[in-house]
Amino acid sequence: MRDSILLLMSMPRDIMVVLPLTDATDSIATSNVDALMNNDIPPVIPLTNAPETPQVGSENTIFGFPSCPEDLKPINGMIFSNLEDGIDFYNKYAKVCGFIPRLDSTKLVNGIVTHKRCVCNKEGKSKNKGTKRKRTVTRSGCEAKVSFKRIDTGEYQIYDFVEVHTHAMVTPATMVHMKPSRNLNLFHKKMIMDNSRVNHGPVDSFRMFKEYKKAMSPSFYFNFDVDDEKRLSKVFWADPISIKNYALFGEAVSFDATYNFNEYKMVFCPFTGVDNHKRCVTFAGGLLRKEDGESFTWLFENFVKAMGDCYPTTIITDQCKGIN
């Protein structure tokens, strides 16, 4: 027994072997020792957490099953009142799992859809058209899919659902940048159309989308007023960062209303200050059609209201009579 243990301890560390169990508890079979010396026993293969599942197709290797709550997972035999509801259900499932679905084949009988299949966007193989331009590989032969068929009641039933994918899933943090999350709603489309009438293109419109923070941040403050002809005459706004800047560096406020008129005949009136690094910071901004006492009073009152009724210690401005 002692000699056998010493023999095992003297073997190279890179030989990882498996010894079959024997009934004896105080000795090691001589045949096992001979097998070790002759390297007849194959090395140990490390175990993984992946379940032993058969491969999908003849060439693809299984990557894994997507993580999804059971109530959102399609099941063979599941019935939907119409095909649109079934496709929408699969789209929601794909968004939770982290992949992008794509509509595939359709079978029609007398103009009625009897069979419909949705696949992963990485289904199939990318075709090399002989171009020299390097393209990102978007298809990897994934066979995940769901197939619907029309039953006698006019409803649609899932009859072929393949869950496993051959690629990594998209993380929730990056899913917002994928194609399904980049659709424009009716409000965005209307805004782009309206902005195009005043010579503002899609780029300017998307920059404006970023400024609509009221719905996302209750701290965003804005107000406006119109004249007797229902035309915009006064505008004031202050975002949360500007309000925070005022709370930190609002002892002295610089107010200047001498900026040139824009194409809408309104003058820009910024409230600015200086931080502890001697850099200019913005507290708020406004647009006025008239530079009179009434307009400036309206602007200053909204500024104080936006800052939580906290008055500045010092205001630096010019000799404008309306401001005075």
Q: From residue 317, how far is each of 277, 281, 290, 291 by CA, in Å?
A: 22, 16, 17, 14
266/296: higher pLDDT: 296
Could you tell me which residues come within 8 angstroms of residue 101 by beta carbon, excluding any fewer than 6 positions away? Answer: 90, 91, 94, 118, 119, 120, 121
Determine the Cα–Cα distance for residues 273 and 131; give it in Å rounded to an integer.
Answer: 56
CB 302 within 8 A of CB 321: no
Determine the Cα–Cα distance for residues 91 and 119; give it in Å rounded to an integer.
Answer: 10
For 217-250, what is each residue's pLDDT tens digit? 667 888 888 888 878 889 999 988 889 999 999 8
pLDDT score at 210? 61
Determine the Cα–Cα distance for residues 136 and 211; give it in Å rounded to an integer.
Answer: 33
For 18-39, what is each residue's pLDDT tens digit? 444 444 444 444 444 454 445 4
pLDDT score at 267? 87
Determine the Cα–Cα distance for residues 257 and 296; give it in Å rounded to an integer.
Answer: 10
pLDDT above 90 as % of the chain: 24
In this prediction, residues 146-174 reach a mean pLDDT of 87
What's at 235, amino acid-wise?
A: V
Supply the mean pLDDT for the chain: 75
pLDDT at 42 over 50: no
pLDDT band at 180 (very low <50, low <70, confident <90, very high): low
For 112-146, what is each residue's pLDDT tens digit? 999 999 998 888 876 655 555 555 557 778 889 99
pLDDT above 70 as % of the chain: 66
**99, containing H or E segment:** none
211/311: higher pLDDT: 311
Determine the Cα–Cα distance for residues 70 and 250; give it in Å rounded to an integer.
Answer: 54
In this prediction, residues 268-278 reach a mean pLDDT of 90
In this prediction, residues 83-104 reach a mean pLDDT of 89
Determine the Cα–Cα distance for residues 243 and 249; give it in Å rounded to an integer.
Answer: 10
In this prediction, residues 294-308 reach a mean pLDDT of 92
pTM of the full structure: 0.42
